[in-house]
Structure 1
Amino acid sequence: MKVSRVNIAYVITRSDSVGGAHVHVRDLSIHLLGKGHQVTVLAGGQGPFTQELRDQGIPHRSLRYLARSICPSRDVRGILELRRELSALMPDIVSTHSSKAGWLGRLAAKSLGLPVLFTAHGWAFTEGVAKRERRFYAFAERLAGPFADRIITVSEHDRQLALAYRVAPPKQVVTIHNGVPDVPLALRARPERQPPRLVMIARFEPQKAHSALLSAIAGLADLSWELEFIGDGPLLEAVKAQVNGLGLEQRVRFLGARKDVAERLAGAQVFVLISNWEGLPRTILEAMRAGLPVVASDVGGVHEAVMEGETGFLVPRGQVGALRERLLRLIRVPDLRIQMGRSGRARYEHYFTFERMYHETMAVYQEVLAARRQRSKP
């Protein structure tokens, strides 16, 4: 199918960190520009993300009033600022990412009559979030839902959650699973190597459960293993203190935010992601791409990527004993790591490539634009 050239504006809330939503926008932008489409990224503030956009040659604009925290006066300025930028760009379609950008971006785009999408990289009203916050965010998403021509969820779990909370009617919500670009053969892992190195890539924030992982693996101190944490965030010092309190400072390394994630995964033997809630984490897909077995919390859409007992293990939220038992099996049995790593790589190749995600995303863009053209006919 021939795809017409599209002018796309991406809107994302913050630039002071680089998370899954940022990488999603960055990778799509690079690919779209390479295909001859026009792309501009509108991001709140400046920081590591806007630096990455500069490094990749992606057109972007920093917004002064688009911020994560809720402040009515600032948010009104944010809508007006977005409206000015979009009015100057007049893109064919606006694609918003993250909750605040989703709310303000949809309002600004609709006020200009522009088609607009919202991609939910995990709902703020998902299981694991405090009940009071869940009620607030669900209410806010129901208010904003009608302003989106389409809502994209990165997992079917999140699509069903949106329908259960009546965020939008079924025809308006579509699932497009995350996908990640492939890596060279040299960046495939060797899961059989000893002693096994475990790696967890995640920001140190309440969403992630670094503490639970440490509590679990502290009970395996008599075995040979290493653990790497990649990421930064407000809870970093608290986790470091826990490591010292458990006497694991010689076994656990903190590498901070890294740009060589693929290389770190290639040198690992097990990938771990312990969380309180998730959408569909890109880091899990990157680990499967590398050929690593995955141990992850059974939250959100994680079970749509990790096949229990086949590509890794799923652990119920908060169950430290079950987590310890799964880690024990993988640390002790190199052949199990090899088998699960191969199965994970095959699953990545079949379901989670970047090309598949790109084509499904472009199909949604074209569908929205075609519907708009149809409505504008006399």
Structure 2
Amino acid sequence: MTRRILYVVTRAEAGGAQSHVLELLRAMRAAYDVVLATGEDGFLTNEARSLGITVVLLKCLRQPISPLLDISATLELMRVVKAFEPSLIHCHSSKAGIIGRAAARVAGVPAIFTVHGWAFGEGASKFRNFVAVSAEYLCSKLGGGPIITVSESDQALALRHGIASKEQVTVIRNGISDHASRAFPGREGIPTAVMVARFSEPKDHMLVVRALAATETVRVAFVGDGPSMSKVKEEVRGQGLETRVDFLGTRSDVPEILARAHLFVLATKHEGLPISILEAMRAGLPVIGTEVGGIPEQVIHGKTGFLVPSGDMEALRSKLEMLSQNPSLRAQMGAEGRRLFEREFTSSRMIDEIVKIYADVLGQERLGTVPPVLAHAAVGEIRTAKENQSAAQ
């Protein structure tokens, strides 16, 4: 009998956690019966349905803290668990992690929680930190299931706040599928920096705009949407940068956009292990990222790109200017980033490590590698991408 895994994530809009879940859905459906539960329709639900995966919408599952809605969402999810009888519930993002583990506890179903950046930490209010840490502590102690963090930084936060033991928290860094599109960052032309990120906290688009205003050597293209976009557009107009900044909105052709760029930038106040940086590395772009969360685990300063302090406009301006004026350095750093992606950030590596956690939780024989059906799919995917790349050259 095929085991069933229920994936629970709060939001379905395009984002890092959603891209991560999509990687899992694509791979795990080869060996498991998979179901997706989320609080809204969007990018992830559309992609899941196109794969033939059952999608359940939880109308009360929302991101902001709301005791009444949160209790209702937990009851909704309990009904879903009763209807689908999963062998395992895999929760993603803070709110889904709390209600998912609560529903799993009541139903007697094992649960795993993947952290895509904690809801507490620098930049959050004392009240939010207290509520978030308390909720995570209770869920960890009552649920007792494995916690996966996508970065060593998030694992360290969990241990520092006493949320879970070191044995309970495993670091499995994000990985993504390969793609044939490649950038040529050393080519001539007015350099374009791309930032792929939602226009909302903790992302810092304003910092990029202000750094851009202090140099004349680079253009910027923003990919994404969100509530702060109008304010960023106002800043662009106020700085007279309309001809040097493009707002591309939410796009499905991000690999192709990156392939036309010269460098990648991500300014943010706190972070897990952003998928957008992995996409840039995969494309062969040098990366400028703020030195927060798991970003220093992705960007090797001075080798694959540069790290700058969060909020430091002058440091960001300096690195944008340096890379925009040095094509050979862009090409060198982009190539190093691509090699690092191939070594450490592929989806096959990530899936292999997650399947081992599944095997432990489900009481199966511990697997040293991805099950053959998954391994075949992952290897074939990478081989096809490399063949496409060779054909394009």
Give the TM-score, by structure 2 length.
Answer: 0.90
1:341 is aligned to 2:304: no
Which residue number in structure 1 is paired with residue 127 of structure 2?
A: 132
Amino acid at match of 1:349: E
Among residues 240, 246, 260, which one is paired with 1:247 in the alignment? 240
1:282 is aligned to 2:278: no
1:28 is aligned to 2:21: no
Task: Please tell me whether the aligned partners of residues 189 and 266 of structure 1 are also in contact (alpha carbons under 8 angstroms).
Answer: yes
1:8 is aligned to 2:5: yes
The 1:371–1:167 alpha-carbon spacing in structure 2 relative to 1, beyond 3 Å, is: farther
1:371 is displaced (CA, Å) by 8.2
Among residues 251, 265, 270, which one is paired with 1:258 in the alignment? 251
Which residue number in structure 1 is paired with residue 291 of structure 2?
A: 298
SS of match in other structure, 1:67:
coil
1:176 is aligned to 2:172: yes
1:360 is aligned to 2:377: no
Q: Distance in 2 between matches of 1:118 and 1:319?
A: 34
4+ residue runs over 4 A deviation: none
Q: Percent identity?
A: 45
* Per-residue CA distance 1:192-234 (angstroms, 9 max, x = gap): 122111100000002100001111111112x2x2210000000
Q: Distance in 2 between matches of 1:257 and 1:351?
A: 27
Amino acid at match of 1:80: L
SS of match in other structure, 1:220:
coil
Among residues 58, 62, 86, which one is paired with 2:57 in the alignment? 62
Q: Distance in 2 between matches of 1:257 and 1:148?
A: 38
SS of match in other structure, 2:162:
coil
Report the number of matched residues. Answer: 364
Q: Distance in 2 between matches of 1:157 and 1:371?
A: 30
Amino acid at match of 1:7: R
1:265 is displaced (CA, Å) by 0.7
Task: Please tell me whether the aligned partners of residues 151 and 294 of structure 2 are also in contact (alpha carbons under 8 angstroms).
Answer: yes
**Matches for 1:198-209 after TM superposition, within 5 Å:** 198-209=193-204
Amino acid at match of 1:24: H
1:148 is displaced (CA, Å) by 4.1
Task: Please tell me whether the aligned partners of residues 65 and 77 of structure 1 are also in contact (alpha carbons under 8 angstroms).
Answer: yes
* Per-residue CA distance 1:242-268 (angstroms, 9 max, x = gap): 000000000100000000011111111
Which residue number in structure 1 is paired with residue 316 of structure 2?
A: 323
Amino acid at match of 1:167: I
* Per-residue CA distance 1:11-41 (angstroms, 9 max, x = gap): 01123x22111111111101111x2311000
Q: Distance in 2 between matches of 1:48 and 1:350?
A: 29
Which residue number in structure 2 is paired with residue 195 of structure 1?
A: 190
Q: Distance in 1 between matches of 2:352 and 2:324?
A: 38
The 1:242–1:22 alpha-carbon spacing in structure 2 relative to 1, beyond 3 Å, is: same
Among residues 15, 19, 29, which one is paired with 2:15 in the alignment? 19
1:351 is aligned to 2:344: yes
Q: Any stretches of 5+ residues in structure 1 without a counterpart?
A: 374-378
Among residues 31, 47, 53, which one is paired with 1:52 in the alignment? 47
Task: Please tell me whether the aligned partners of residues 25 and 48 of structure 2 are also in contact (alpha carbons under 8 angstroms).
Answer: no
Task: Please tell me whether the aligned partners of residues 146 and 170 of structure 2 are also in contact (alpha carbons under 8 angstroms).
Answer: yes
Which residue number in structure 2 is paired with residue 157 of structure 1?
A: 153
Q: Distance in 2 between matches of 1:36 and 1:359?
A: 13
**Matches for 1:308-319 after TM superposition, within 5 Å:** 308-319=301-312
1:57 is displaced (CA, Å) by 2.2
Q: Distance in 2 between matches of 1:271 and 1:126?
A: 26
Among residues 85, 89, 94, which one is paired with 1:94 in the alignment? 89
1:145 is displaced (CA, Å) by 1.3
Q: Any stretches of 5+ residues in structure 2 without a counterpart?
A: 367-393
* Per-residue CA distance 1:272-312 (angstroms, 9 max, x = gap): 00000000001001100000000000000110110000000
* Per-residue CA distance 1:113-151 (angstroms, 9 max, x = gap): 100011000111122333432232112211111214100
1:76 is displaced (CA, Å) by 1.5
Task: Please tell me whether the aligned partners of residues 30 and 58 of structure 1 are also in contact (alpha carbons under 8 angstroms).
Answer: no
Q: Distance in 2 between matches of 1:141 and 1:148?
A: 11
Task: Please tell me whether the aligned partners of residues 117 and 148 of structure 1 are also in contact (alpha carbons under 8 angstroms).
Answer: no
Q: Distance in 2 between matches of 1:162 and 1:320?
A: 30
Task: Please tell me whether the aligned partners of residues 272 and 293 of structure 2 are also in contact (alpha carbons under 8 angstroms).
Answer: yes
1:210 is aligned to 2:205: yes
RMSD of Structure 2 on Structure 1 (CA): 1.6
1:273 is aligned to 2:269: no
Which residue number in structure 2 is paired with residue 227 of structure 1?
A: 220
1:46 is displaced (CA, Å) by 2.3
Q: Distance in 2 between matches of 1:118 and 1:102?
A: 6
Amino acid at match of 2:261: A
